């Protein structure tokens, strides 16, 4: 166990990284003993920690090697020089890391961390849709299982869905878009295509974002004049229409960084607001958020335990055939997202 002086120095590092704004001194000290041990084991095991921006702040401030949205983390994991990737996020993200790195060990410290979107569609349902709309390419949100990705032509994230669809609509009249019906509606509005005719949606939704109501937006507009309302494209179109900006998690952070507003409402999962407060201590944030119970399953204790001795379910496995097909769809996303088209 690390000594008292080492823990105190680590606690000061965590405070400086922003935890002081969010946590009590005794909680930071307790976290420090764990982050010291995790960072020591990481070196010993040649492991890197990928931490999604919705994760708990002590993970983001204390142990992350990579922090970002789904897209950035997939890219970072692809080029990671490590034997092991520890994924602090949800299962579909860890699976994406495994698909791109079949030779590496990928650990998911919270093996039950799912996602309502990922749970909303099966491979059989994708195949049935393909039969119903022959010739239409399948464009699939990254929030899906490896098996569903393997049935898809191209993966997208919130950071690039509009661009990728725009490119594909140049060659195709009809595109199947899975599985988020609200994101499909937002994209159809943005691209000026007909939902159900040009863009064929599935019936999934994010259990966190689908619940934000336009009435709440109207209330906050009155209560905080001049405040900017930001949300994620997984929210309902009626809510997105009331917001000043809709974008993926990294795009929302960029918006805060590049705008001067009296306050910001980050209408998304709570972790993004906590990270924004740590990154931009001079700016004001109005708390309005919902917890994603899946995203919040990972604690420092789980990470430490997984690094020491992973339990059943914490080692992510994707069968080789599925991984090859799914990787092709993920790489198609990288190719189009980074093209000059
Ligand atoms: P981002 O890709 O924008 O980080 O979104 C991931 C997610 O799960 C949103 O709910
Ligand atoms: Fe899935 Fe929604 Fe949680 Fe993101 S916030 S992981 S989309 S349930």
Q: Is residue 96 part of a domain?
A: yes
Distance 57 CA to ligand 1 centre (A): 16
How much of the chain exceeds pLDDT 70, in percent?
100
Q: Is residue 247 part of a domain?
A: yes
Mean pLDDT for 230-253 is: 96
Clarify whether residues 57 and 9 are in a common domain: yes
Clarify whether residues 174 and 222 are in a common domain: no
Q: Is residue 286 part of a domain?
A: no
**Residue 333: its pLDDT value, please?**
98
pLDDT tens figures, 26-55: 999 999 999 999 999 999 999 999 999 999
Cβ of 249 closer than 6 Å to ligand 1, yes or no, is yes
Clarify whether residues 246 and 184 are in a common domain: no
What is residue 315's DSSP assignment? B
Provide the residue range defining the domain that includes 255. 209-279
Clarify whether residues 199 and 225 are in a common domain: no
Distance from C-alpha of 185 to C-alpha of 207, rounded to nearest angstrom:
16
Residue 340: pLDDT band with limits 50, 70, 90: confident
Q: Is residue 313 part of a domain?
A: no
Q: Is residue 241 part of a domain?
A: yes
Clarify whether residues 83 and 14 are in a common domain: yes
Clarify whether residues 52 and 173 are in a common domain: no
Clarify whether residues 83 and 109 are in a common domain: yes
Clarify whether residues 100 and 142 are in a common domain: no
**Residue 288: its pLDDT value, please?**
77
Please identify, by atom number, the ligand 1 atom nearest to the C-alpha of residue 142: 2
Residue 228 has pLDDT above 80, yes or no: yes
> Could you tell me the CATH number of the domain that includes residue 275?
3.40.50.10800
Mean pLDDT for 241-254 is: 96
Distance 142 CA to ligand 1 centre (A): 9
Mean pLDDT for 241-270 is: 96
Residue whose CA lies nearest to ligand 2 atom number 8: 115
Residue whose CA lies nearest to ligand 2 atom number 3: 292
Clarify whether residues 201 and 323 are in a common domain: yes
The continuous run of DSSP H or E covering 111 comes out as none
Clarify whether residues 221 and 144 are in a common domain: no
Residue 252: pLDDT band with limits 50, 70, 90: very high
Clarify whether residues 264 and 236 are in a common domain: yes
3-state DSSP assignment of residue 139: strand
Clarify whether residues 40 and 103 are in a common domain: yes
pLDDT tens figures, 141-168: 999 999 999 999 999 999 999 999 999 9
Counting ligands in written order, which one lies closest to the CA of residue 246? 1
**Residue 287: its pLDDT value, please?**
74
Residue 100 has pLDDT above 80, yes or no: yes
**Residue 128: its pLDDT value, please?**
98
Give the number of domains in the chain: 3
Cβ of 142 closer than 6 Å to ligand 2, yes or no, is no
pTM (predicted TM-score):
0.95
Mean pLDDT for 199-212 is: 97
Distance (Å) of CA 104 to CA 46, 84, 236, 262, 303: 11, 6, 38, 46, 17
38, 17, 7, 12: which is closest to 299 by C-alpha? 38
Cβ of 110 closer than 6 Å to ligand 2, yes or no, is no
């Amino acid at each position: 166990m690390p000594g008292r002086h080492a823990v105190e120095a680590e606690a000061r590092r965590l405070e400086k990284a922003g935890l002081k704004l969010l946590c009590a001194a005794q909680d930071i000290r307790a976290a420090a003993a764990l982050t010291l041990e995790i960072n020591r084991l990481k070196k010993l095991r040649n492991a890197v920690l990928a931490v999604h921006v919705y994760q708990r702040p002590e993970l983001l401030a204390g142990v992350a090697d990579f922090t970002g949205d789904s897209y950035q983390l997939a890219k970072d994991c692809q080029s990671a020089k490590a034997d092991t990737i520890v994924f602090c996020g949800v299962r579909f993200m860890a699976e994406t890391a495994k698909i791109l790195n079949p030779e590496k060990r990928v650990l998911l410290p919270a093996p039950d961390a799912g996602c309502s979107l990922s749970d909303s569609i099966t491979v059989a349902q994708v195949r049935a849709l393909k039969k119903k709309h022959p010739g239409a390419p399948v464009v699939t949100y990254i929030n899906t299982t490896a098996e569903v990705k393997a049935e898809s032509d191209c993966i997208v994230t919130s950071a690039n869905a509009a661009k990728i669809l725009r490119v594909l609509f140049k060659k195709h009249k009809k595109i199947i878009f899975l599985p988020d019906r609200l994101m499909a509606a937002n994209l159809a509005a943005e691209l000026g295509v007909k939902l159900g005719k040009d863009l064929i949606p599935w019936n999934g939704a994010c259990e966190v974002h689908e619940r934000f109501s336009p009435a709440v937006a109207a209330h906050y507009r009155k209560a905080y004049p001049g405040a900017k309302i930001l949300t994620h494209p997984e929210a309902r179109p009626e809510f997105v229409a009331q917001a000043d900006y809709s974008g993926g998690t990294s795009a929302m952070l960029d918006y805060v960084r590049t705008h001067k507003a009296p306050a910001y409402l980050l209408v998304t999962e709570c972790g993004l607001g906590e990270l924004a407060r740590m990154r931009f201590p001079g700016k004001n944030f109005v708390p309005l958020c919902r917890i994603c119970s899946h995203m919040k399953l990972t604690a420092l204790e789980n990470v430490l335990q997984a690094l020491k001795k992973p339990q059943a379910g914490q080692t992510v496995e994707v069968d080789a055939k599925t991984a090859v097909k799914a990787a092709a769809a993920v790489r198609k996303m990288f190719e189009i997202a980074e093209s000059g088209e």
